[in-house]
Structure 1
Amino acid sequence: MKTAINHEAQKSIVIEDYLARILEIVSSIRPVFLKNELKFSKKAEKEKLYIYKKLFPEKVLGINKIQNDYNTILGHANLSKLEKADLDFILDLEKIGFSKSQYVAEMNILAQKEKNVNDGFFHFFVGETVYFTFLSTELRNIQYKLDTISPSNP
């Protein structure tokens, strides 16, 4: 019985050691990475703003490209020849008014505002980018399928 208690005590000491190491590692993470906004010099902030304004809305979110891809698919001569799942996806986007999507319009406006150039907002956009990435990938796949359908296929 004494051996079992000793063994349990040793287990708890090992667990406490692991927890202590984990807490030490977490505490050693630089506090600056836990803040919402990093501080840069004025010159670095100016460069960051330039890069953000020139690249972020289109290159990161790809909003205009997604809208163009969607409109190209809608106008494609072989649209009705798509597989049911792909056609349903496009038609569902049309039902929700994607060509004049309020969500896309608001994201585009938010992405272009200089006041939103901060790290906290950037992290928000990174999350939203996932949606745009999935949508863009799906639209490109459908576009590829449309382009490979020959006009003679029923």
Structure 2
Amino acid sequence: MKFDILYAVAEKFKVNINNVLIAGSAQTGESFHKGTLFNCKTSDLDLAIVDPGLYENCLRIAHTATRDYSDLSGFQRKEGVSVQKDFLENLGRGFFRPDLMPACTYKSEWFNFFQQLSKIYQSNFESINCGVYSSLHFFQMKQAGNVEIVKNQKGR
């Protein structure tokens, strides 16, 4: 099953299967944000694609969708505030979050793919989600930061 999921993602986004990594609570056994243990029936499966070419392609799409960031109307709003700032902050950390990207066909296709994949494996995971990292360095830095959050929460 693990191979099938990673293979499907690698094929869809035309990346090497070794660049599709398991992240989050499925990797660590514990959710960084919820403080709950991973449960293969009720937890999400978080994936990361570490690929500079895909990362650049996603940036190019966002750049085009916003007309060189001159039109920010495509960014969704949470509690009345645009997510554009969060989107750009994550880019500065080498992390492309598709959920924060501006509205465009690519974003719709991205989420349609992961919704379909989630349906196939719904007996194993609540949902399957994925982000894109520009390099292994940025992926490792994000994971290290999350581990520190958990340690601080538990007073370790």
Instruction: Please state which band the TM-score falls in when normalised by the shorter chain.
Output: under 0.3
- Structure with bigger RCO (C-alpha 8 Å, 6+ apart): 1
Structure 1 length-normalised TM: 0.25
* Structure number having the greater helix percentage: 1
* Structure number having the greater strand percentage: 2
Structure 2 length-normalised TM: 0.25
